[in-house]
Structure 1
Amino acid sequence: MEYIYLHGFASSPQSHKAQYLRDRFATIGINLNLLDLNQGDLSHLTLTRQIQQVVTAFPTSHTPITIIGSSFGGLTAAWLGETYPQVQRLILLAPAFNFLAHWLPKLGKAQRQQWQQSGYLSTYHYGKGRMLPLHYQFVVDLSKYDDSHLKRALPTLIIHGVNDDVIPIAASRNYASQRPWVKLIELESDHSLTNVEEKIWQSIQTFAL
């Protein structure tokens, strides 16, 4: 079994959660492959690009894969699981289902129009610690993905904080309620889930190890 971790939007493999889980996997002799989805170019990030990048990191076709995805990385993981039979299990941490529906309204109509017209939106990158431009193609590409088409029945664990103000807990509740193969664990936390990392690790061990 190969284990791959996908970080969230504007994050990095150096995030606290990624490093914590890598270290926990290492204690039991398992390598957790932390991919850098930024590819040195946040400006032209799209969901399609992330999916294609992760596929190139897959091991030989005979090796089953478990993907752990955080936020936008969780959404990426879900689409990989839908498309590639080699993916055998998913662990989604505050997955960004219906991402545009949650994010775009926060920008406001004027800012969205300016983004579309100018082509770029200044976005804070937590991994870099500074503002970086994001091309509007991010929205165009993501709008082609309809989460309702995620129908493959593969073992899926979702861990989501009930106080998440980035991706509301309702997004994961709705997703799990329509898919009996999905287990949802709700924790007292926000989108970062940093205060419940030990519980996340315990849940991963029970579910996938």
Structure 2
Amino acid sequence: MLTQYIYLHGFASSPNSTKAQNIGDRFAQIQTKLKIPDLNAGDFSKLTITRQITQVAAEFSNDYTSVTLIGSSLGGLTSAYLGQQYLQVQRLVMLAPAFGFLSHWLPKLGNEEIKRWQQEKYIMVYHYGEERAIPLSYDFVTDAVQYQEELLQRPIPTLILHGKKDEVIPIEASRDFARSRPWVELVELESDHALDNVMEEIWQAIRLFCQLP
């Protein structure tokens, strides 16, 4: 059975992110193909979780291939929904997955800013891939609200790697997710949301979990 590997980068990030490049290089070293689609799709302003799901699903090859998704932050959350919707997805690796993304992000903006965003339809968001602020449509929020994490109940072998000092998505979010799902293995790391200092540990965990050479 052939396995297709796809990496999903995070919110306001790109295929050139440190993590994407690091993991991509390691896959290259073991001569295994890793697809890293650009989830900005040329228009970050119109980003939604639904668009990411549709875009990644279009990358799946024929029905005979099993898919392993490796997702970072919002890419991790997106991969969980792909796993729920597509039986081809046989394995998930999530790096600091953005569970409860809106509940962590919106309070940081504050009520006034959210109201203005609703009224003006766009908010400026710093995009790390582009290294500049880009407007993001409020459609991102209205789309994200319809995704309910309690519905993620398909028992797919899942590995979550999350930093104990994550300042963006608290580790409790992954602990809560794993607690009620016996098919999920959570590895807690001495790191923050970027996970930059534990890339070696992450790679060894991915390699073991995915049974890579």
Normalised TM-score (structure 2) = 0.97
**What amino acid is aligned across from residue 187 of structure 1 in structure 2?**
L
Match of 1:94 among 93, 96, 100: 96
Q: Map of 1:105-184 to 2, 5 A cutoff?
A: 105-184=107-186
For the residue of structure 2 that corresponds to 1:35, the secondary structure is coil
The aligned amino acid for 1:98 is: G
Instruction: Return the offset for 1:40.
Output: 0.9
TM-score normalised according to structure 1 size:
0.99
Give me the whole-angstrom Cα distance separating, in 2, the residues matched to 1:113 and 1:143: 16
1:206 alignment counterpart? 208
Deviation at 1:78, TM superposition (A): 0.1
Give every structure 1 segment of 4 or more consecutive aligned residues whose post-TM-superposition deviation is greater than 3 Å.
none
For structure 1, the 5+ residue unaligned runs are none
The one-letter code sitting in structure 2 at the alignment partner of 1:148 is E
Tell me the equivalent position of 1:39: 41
Mapped to 2, the partners of 1:176 and 1:44 lie a distance apart of 31
Distance in 1 of aligned mates of 2:102 and 2:186 = 22
Distance 1:35 1:185 in 2: 26
Tell me the amino acid that sits aligned with residue 154 of structure 1: I
Letter in 2 for 1:66: T
Uncovered stretches (5+) of structure 2, i.e. residues with no partner: none
**Counterpart check, 1:7 vs 2:15:** no
Alignment of 1:37-76 (within 5 A): 37-76=39-78
User: In structure 2, what is the Cα distance between the partners aligned to 1:118 and 1:5?
Assistant: 33
Structure 1 counterpart of 2:20, from 3, 18, 21: 18
How far did 1:199 drift? 0.4
Shift of 1:26: 1.0
Residue 91 of structure 2 aligns with an amino acid whose one-letter code is R
| 3-state SS of paired residue (1:179) | coil
Identity over the aligned pairs, expressed in percent? 58
The letter for the 2-side match of 1:93 is L
Per-residue CA deviation, residues 4-32 of structure 1 (Å, 9 max, x unaligned), is 00000000000011011011011111011
Letter in 1 for 2:101: F
The residue matched to 1:180 in structure 2 has which SS? coil
Instruction: Please give the alpha-carbon distance, in whole angstroms, between the structure 2 residues aligned to 1:7 and 1:29.
Output: 21
Secondary structure, in 3 states, of the residue corresponding to 2:175?
A: helix
Partner Cα separation in structure 1 for residue 100 and residue 149 of structure 2: 7
Distance 1:172 1:104 in 2: 19
Separation in 1, partners of 2:76, 2:94: 5
Alpha-carbon distance in 2 for matches of 1:35, 1:195: 24
Over aligned residue pairs, what C-alpha RMSD do you find? 0.5
Letter in 2 for 1:74: G
1:61 Cα deviation after fit: 1.0
Deviation readout 1:121-171 (Å, 9 max, x if unpaired): 000000000000000000000000000100000100000000001000000
Correspondent of 1:103 among 91, 105, 108: 105
Distance 1:133 1:4 in 2: 27
